[in-house]
Amino acid sequence: MRVFKFGGASVKDADGVKNVVNVLNQMGHKDTLVVISAMGKTTNAMEKVVEAYFKDKDAVAGMLQEVMDYHDGILAELFQNTSHPIYSKIKLLFEEVKGFLTWNKSPKYAFVYDQVVGYGELVSTTIVSEYLNEVGMASTWLDVRTLIKTDNNYRDAQINWDRTQSEVTAKVDMSKLNITQGFLGSDDNNFTTTLGREGSDYTAAILAYCLNAESVTIWKDVPGVLNADPRNFKETQLLEQISYREAIELAFYGASVIHPKTLQPLQRKEIPLHVKSFVNPKDKGTTVGKGIGIVPKVPCFIVKKDQVLLKLSSLDFSFIVEDNISEIFKLFHDHRLKVDLIQNSAISFSVCLDNKFNGLQSMLDELKRKFKVVCHEEVSLYTIRHFNDNAVKSLQNGKSVLVEQRGKETVQLVVK
């Protein structure tokens, strides 16, 4: 069995859904499991619904209606018969969202987030599966929440591999074309969990691992894995082959094409990962698998924006030793701040953080009780794998470099 994954950009409108059919026709669709994300920017829109639920409940209905109208527009282009069962199915899914927001008593943001935001995937896969059936490509819709079992760490759930393996083995018919959701799982109480933003790639890898799939293909709006994000860098180059190790390094530093968690289960079973264009599905794209390094071997640029740089020093000029560092990292963990770079000296400690869960301000109050703290917000962290002098100079020009760190293969710059 093969696993295909289509992201939100590939199904952002009716033409995108029709193109999924085109890709499946060109590449074959027997013995295939297709993982699909929410359509377009639906996840962002649903996140705003959750935010409004906690801050401005009067705005919730209007925001949710906008999401419904967006999907109704896609339905109208795909299913001209308004009596088609798909209309009632989609209406029922949105009624479930409204019902949850009405009866929910939990004050926990992360819990509410997971119960609401995941409907983007449930809606998109229902539409795609029904359309495939409509055009004569028989498909089976699977609720991934019954397959992927997790803990209850909402918004960043961890996989229960034994239970997931058991559920996938029992419920996936490998002889059929199966359609399921990315990003989602469920805990022991069958509440929806999510695997972290951009977690649909990880979903594809989890299912491929459990199914002993022959390959995973991620369909993107780019020709494959590039040596830099074309949205941030002018000149980019296609990487034709990447080893698992090199791809994990790139993902760790923040390369956006492959989710950081995706590669680990694939590497364990040596399942190749293909990254290809849904515009030109026959093009070669990029293959990640066994091997050495990258082909061609060129500098690879990665940027993570909206980061936070903290510079800590002891109030009495004493050393920042193991006890202090342990305490600092516990604070990072407790406030859900991801560490992207560390640099320390005898009496100071610098760290670049990702504040995606907005825990910074509460943590700063605690840090300032014991340390002198200098905080730079809205900085960018640039990473260059396989750097050379010209590559480094191209990033330094016109920028204020706050921290520079060099290793054998990698240089990182925190710039303002």
Binding-site annotation: residue ranges for ATP: 231
Per-position DSSP letters for 74-122, written without gaps between them: HHHHH---TTSHHHHHHHHHHHHHHHHHHH-----HHHHHHHHHTHHHH
Backbone angles phi, psi at 338, to 5 degrees: -85, 130
Please state, in angstroms and rounded to a whole number, the distance separating the CA atoms of residues 389 and 414. 17
Q: Are 201 and 247 in contact (CB under 8 A)?
A: no
Name the CA radius of gyration of the chain, rounded. 23
**Four-CA torsion 223, 229, 233, 238, nearest 10 degrees:** -40
Q: Is 133 helix (H, G, I), strand (E, B) or coil?
A: helix
Task: Dig out the tokens for 202 from the structure.
Answer: 């990880």
Token pair 């008593």 is found at 105
Residue ranges of the binding site: 231
* CB neighbour class for 290 (10 Å; exposed up to 12, middle 13-18, buried from 19): exposed
Task: Dig out the tokens for 113 from the structure.
Answer: 């987030």
Please state, in angstroms and rounded to a whole number, the distance separating the CA atoms of residues 412 and 343. 11
CA angle 145/146/147 to nearest 5° reads: 90
**288, containing H or E segment:** strand 286-289
**Four-CA torsion 202, 205, 209, 215, nearest 10 degrees:** 180
Per-position DSSP letters for 27-78, written without gaps between them: H--TTEEEEE--STTHHHHHHHHHHHHHH-GGGHHHHHHHHHHHHHHHHHHH
